Structures are given as C-alpha cells and as structure tokens.
Amino acid sequence: MWFWNRKKEPEISLTQEKNLPQEFNPFGLQDVLYYIKREIGIDLFSKNSVIETKLRLFCERKEIYSFRKLFETLQHDTKLRQELIDLVTVNETYFYREESQLNLAVEFALEIPSVRILCAPCATGEEVYSLSMMLQEKRREAYSFHITGIDINSEAIEKAQRGLFSERSLHKLDERLKEKYFLKDERFYSAKKEYFTSISFRKVNIFEGDFLSLGSFDIIFSRNMLIYFDDTFRLKTIERFSSLLKPQGKLFLGHADIIPENHYFTKHTEHRLSYYVKNS
C-alpha cells in the first residue's frame, strides 16, 4: 500500500523538546514596572515600549520567558534584583559637568570647617572627583573636607572606586588638571589615589534604612534623579535629604529637576543659579 513508502517523520524525544526555544510571554510587564517604581522610585511607564525591549532581552539572557516569572523571581532573588537595578539606572556623566553650579557649591563649602558633602546619586564618580579637585585647588592649608558618593547601581559604584576614566569623561579638564590628578595609559586616565583620600563611595538605596545611617551633611548634590520620579517619590526624596542635612544645609538639584511644594526647603538664587536651603 502507498503509505508504507512514506518517509517516516523523525521522532522528537522529551530531551529535544526541552531544548526547543521557548516563546516569550509578555504578560506581567506592568507588575515589573510597578516593582521598579516601588523599590527605587523610577517611573518607567511613559517609556513602556523602550523598556519592554530592554527587559525582554534581560529576561532571555537569564532564561526567564515571561515578565510574570521575572516579577515572581525578583521577590526572593537579591542578585537578580541588583542586576535589574543596574540595567534600568542611568550613569553617563563627565568631569566638571555644570561647572558654574559646582563652583557655587565650592564657595559655600570653603566657608565651612570640615565640610561634609553627599552626592546622591553619584553614578560612576565624576561629580565626587570633580568637587574634590575643585576644593583642593581653592582650599586653605588647614582646610579639610569629606565627600561621600552613593548610588543604587553596583556596577557604577565599582567603577567609581576604581577611578578609571575615559578621555571623553575628562574632555572639560585642561592639561594641567589631567597631569596633576591622573595617570594616563593607552585606554584610561587613572585617578592618583594620594589626591583622593577624602572621598568614599557606597552602594545605598535612598529609600532604605542604611541611607539614614550615612550621618549629617552640609551640602547635598542630587542632580537629574528627581526627573525620573513622580511627585510622591520626589517629596519622599527631599524629606529624606532634609533628614541628613544640617541646619541651613544646602541642596543642589539638576536644572530639569522639579520638587513639589514642601516645608523642608526654601529656594534661593545666586549668580542666576538655584539651590535650596533647609528650613530651620
């Protein structure tokens, strides 16, 4: 009969079935976005299509085939949680960025003995190193300071601690500053550690308890973080900044950062630059 001559279809074993690529299930994306907002304050709902692609690639690298499974795994997997945070936080910056604002902060800092400055978030450290260099260039002999940089992104903190920077990152520095504070090799500029003994970096989430254990500060820099928050998280953020600032302490924000009406700070303007002073 004719069917005896048909070519036999290859059998698929259970092992082969397991190795077949799984189809990704996009269900659960909203849960993941709510999780990110709840944990670190960043509102990504307006960037839904862009972040969906980014998160999907992240899931596939981890062999997670639905956003719902990602959400469930995040509840107990702290390593995955940190990797997700590193993925969605932005860390591009450079030395002497918004130099006029840095100069104003340095003017205030030089009036305070043993000044303490916090940079939150500090990204890969350029802002912290910049402030340190500017204070060293202008300080008196007996003047002392300490600058703490914090960020929720573990990769950024590791880079800041290493103190290795690209040519692009240092593009605003003149040759004298580069030669004084850095060693250059074929690929990177390496910060000379002897000039940066008064800076430190820590991985800290501003919404968790260890943030309040950082101590008190005279000046806080928080540039271009609040733009990613809604008003609820903005208010929560400045409330926590207020908790760490000393009386009459100063808060510097990015030009695009907006804070809701509050009783923690009063806005001031000097040299056409805005900053906030903690209310008594």
> Which of 33, 57, 88 corresponds to the end of one domain?
88
Verify that 181 and 154 share a domain, yes or no: yes
Q: Where are the alpha helices (DSSP H) in the chain?
A: 14-19, 29-40, 48-61, 67-74, 78-88, 99-109, 126-138, 154-162, 175-181, 231-244
Q: How far apart are CA 63 and CA 21, in angstroms?
A: 10
Q: 45 versus 265: which is more confidently predicted?
A: 265
d(CA 252, CA 273): 10
CA-based torsion, 17, 22, 27, 31: positive or negative: positive
Question: Based on the domain organization, do 139 and 227 belong to the same domain?
Answer: yes
pLDDT range class, residue 21, cuts 50, 70, 90 = low
Distance (Å, whole) CA 145 – CA 132: 8
Domains of the chain: total: 2
Residues 234 and 266 in one domain: yes
* 20 and 153 together in one domain: no
Ranked by mean pLDDT, the top range of 11-15, 23-27, 88-92 is 23-27
- Residues 57-73 have pLDDT tens digits of 999 999 998 999 999 99
Distance CA 37, CA 33 (A): 6
Find where tokens 């208010």 sit.
235
Query: Does position 92 have pLDDT exceeding 80, yes or no?
Result: no
- The residue among 88, 122, 149 that closes a domain is 88
Mean pLDDT of 161-170: 96
Q: Are the C-beta atoms of 152 and 89 separated by less than 8 Å?
A: yes
CA 189, 194, 195: angle at the middle one, nearest 5? 70
In a domain, 1, yes or no: no
Distance, in Å, from the CA atom of 119 to the CA atom of 151, rounded to the nearest integer, reads 9
Q: Are 48 and 118 contained in the same domain?
A: no
Same domain? 127 vs 258? yes
For residue 16, what pLDDT is reported?
Answer: 43
The reply to whether 27 and 61 lie within a common domain is yes
Tell me the two tokens of residue 91: 């860390």
Indicate yes or no: pTM above 0.85: no
Task: Using the predicted structure, report yes or no on whether residue 5 has a pLDDT greater than 50.
Answer: no
Residue 3 maps to a domain: no
Does residue 18 register a pLDDT over 50?
A: no
Are 138 and 108 within 8 A, CB to CB?
A: no
> What's the pLDDT at 196?
97
- Whole-angstrom CA distances from 173 to 88, 126, 156, 230 are 29, 12, 21, 35
Residues β-bridged to residue 184: 189
Average pLDDT, the chain: 89
Any idea what the Cα angle at residue 250 is, between residues 247 and 253, rounded to 5°? 145
Max avg pLDDT among 21-25, 138-142, 158-162? 158-162
Q: Is 201 helix (H, G, I), strand (E, B) or coil?
A: strand
Residue 11 predicted with pLDDT over 90: no
- The alpha-carbon radius of gyration of the chain (Å, integer) is 24
Domain around 148: 99-278
Q: Do 172 and 51 belong to one domain?
A: no
**Residue 4 is assigned to a structural domain of this protein:** no
Do 122 and 247 lie in one domain? The reply is: yes
